[in-house]
Amino acid sequence: MTDLSSFPITKKWPAQHPERLQLYSLPTPNGVKVSILLEETGLAYEPHLVSFETQDQMSPEFLSLNPNNKIPAILDPDGPGGRPLALFESGAILIYLAEKTGKFIPKDAAGRYETIQWVMFQMGGIGPMFGQLGFFNKFAGKDYEDKRPRDRYVAESKRLLGVLDKHLANRTWIMGDDYTIADIASFPWIRNLIGFYEAGDLVGFSDFKNVARVLEAFVARPAVVKGLNIPKRG
């Protein structure tokens, strides 16, 4: 039987099914990337809620797996070589799970690198820029009198949306006909920008018709509908 007891994170979040992949997360745009991919692949997993209300991400048990105190993180009892693998950073987790299952990443090397390129575009561009825009539009930063920081992130978010919109003009998904981890990385953030962050008007979202079309197809997928609410908030 699989034994994960040497991983301190399992003290705070005990594994009921230690043979299953353990997910430590919260349904935020970074968190749901992993629950959506897990739902899409059909891999057996056990979700654990990391609550920010109780600062769970700062607990020694969570930090033992991710010293960067951010969700999502995973512990796969059946990692490379059949040994457990702990991982944090959503982009790394998406690539790992896609390669482990052989799904949602092209098999040919060029297609694989191109998919990773778009995952990096989300990780280095869309995520950080939209996140800052959320801070300046919806959270503490909205009361700052000086609007220049907000405007900088509005401009950069628009630019990134423009790049993606142009790319999607003649494509069903980011990689063309195939739905991949590049879509799973990006569309939760776009949904969040116009939803929770309420920044649709600010970025002129109606100008990005191709992004809007693909977002609609994305949120209609059954695995996306499910993954968006995993782990369930307490």
CB of 66 to ligand GSH, least distance (A): 9
Q: Exactly one of 10, 22, 30, 132 binds ligand GSH (CB under 6 A); which one?
A: 30
CB of 122 to ligand GSH, least distance (A): 9
Cα(124)–Cα(110) distance, integer angstroms? 21
Scan residues 75-94 and list those touching ligand GSH (CB under 6 A): 89-91
Q: Exactly one of 8, 12, 63, 70 binds ligand GSH (CB under 6 A); which one?
A: 70
- State yes or no: residue 59 binds ligand GSH (CB under 6 A): no
Cβ nearer to ligand GSH, comparing 18 with 191: 191
Cα(65)–Cα(52) distance, integer angstroms? 16
CB of 157 to ligand GSH, least distance (A): 16
Of 51, 53, 98, 45, nearest to 74 (Cα)?
A: 45
Of 73, 58, 95, 89, nearest to 21 (Cα)?
A: 73
x-or-dash string of contact with ligand GSH, 106-125, rule CB under 6 A:
--------------------
Secondary structure string (H, E, C) spanning 148-167: HHHHHHHHHHHHHHHHHHHH
For 120, list phi and psi in degrees, rounded to 5: -70, -35
Cα(44)–Cα(37) distance, integer angstroms? 12
- State yes or no: residue 25 binds ligand GSH (CB under 6 A): no
Cβ nearer to ligand GSH, comparing 93 with 214: 93
Chain residues that interact with ligand GSH, rule: CB under 6 A: 28-30, 52, 57, 69-72, 89-91
